[in-house]
Amino acid sequence: MPKNGSQTKERIIHSAMYLFWERGYNATGMADLLKLSKANSGSFYYFFDSKEALLDEVLDLYLNSLEDIIVKPVFEKRNDPIDRIFGILAGYREKTIQTNFAYGCPIGRLALEIDPNNQSAREKIAANFSAWIDVIRKCLIEAKDHFSVEINAEEIAQFTLTVMEGAVMQSRMFASVEPFDASVRQLRNYFDLMLPKM
């Protein structure tokens, strides 16, 4: 391994994460990636066989970072499981505003862009979605006594992911938080219909 090899590999992966998010996977060229990561092509090919192999590492990092980046900050501030679900959604709302509506869910963007024949990437993207869904599903199971009706926690968690992805995408395109707020408001109304009247 070259001197400071692990740092170089990390720089390449984090640079790829940023560029894939900002420009998209297909529009990210090798020259831009090497420039941002301050690496040369020799270093790149020492660590990665191809751009597709780098994408696999990026997707692994997203999956391994879900708990620390998305979940823990919300769960440390909120105790109620339903409130935690909407806290996670609020985090995406904040990011859309902070980035002046340039933010899009990086996994959602890659899901739309990656060649369906790229089986490895498809499986890793699916694993990221499944992990996110699992967080919401566990919150719903923990909150089962809150609901006045029987719920399908898995399907509601999938529905919640659909609302988040669609809300982020629309806010990005309209350069407005209104589509996000409207989508989450309707999700909240849906939850309220299943909760007992106070």
Backbone angles phi, psi at 3, to 5 degrees: -55, 135
Contact 13, 61 (CB under 8 A): yes
Residue 3 scores a pLDDT above 60? no
Quick one: pLDDT at residue 104?
79
Q: Domains in the chain and their CATH numbers? A: 1-48 (1.10.10.60), 59-194 (1.10.357.10)
Query: pLDDT-based confidence at 196, cuts 50/70/90?
Result: confident
Task: Say what the pLDDT of residue 148 is.
Answer: 87
> pLDDT tens digit string along 152-194?
999 999 999 999 999 999 999 999 999 999 999 999 999 999 9
Report the percent of the chain where pLDDT is more than 90.
Answer: 85
Residue with more model confidence, 140 or 1: 140
Residue 1 has pLDDT above 60, yes or no: no
* Verdict on whether the full-model pTM lies above 0.85: yes
Average pLDDT over residues 75-100: 95
39-56 pLDDT per residue, tens: 999 999 999 999 999 999
pLDDT, tens digit (0-9, with 9 covering 90-100), for 112-166: 999 989 999 999 999 999 999 999 999 999 998 889 889 999 999 999 999 999 9
- DSSP-derived secondary structure letter, 121: H
Q: What is the 3-state secondary structure (H, E, C) of 127-190?
A: HHHHHHHHHHHHHHHHCHHHCCCCCCHHHHHHHHHHHHHHHHHHHHHHCCCHHHHHHHHHHHHH
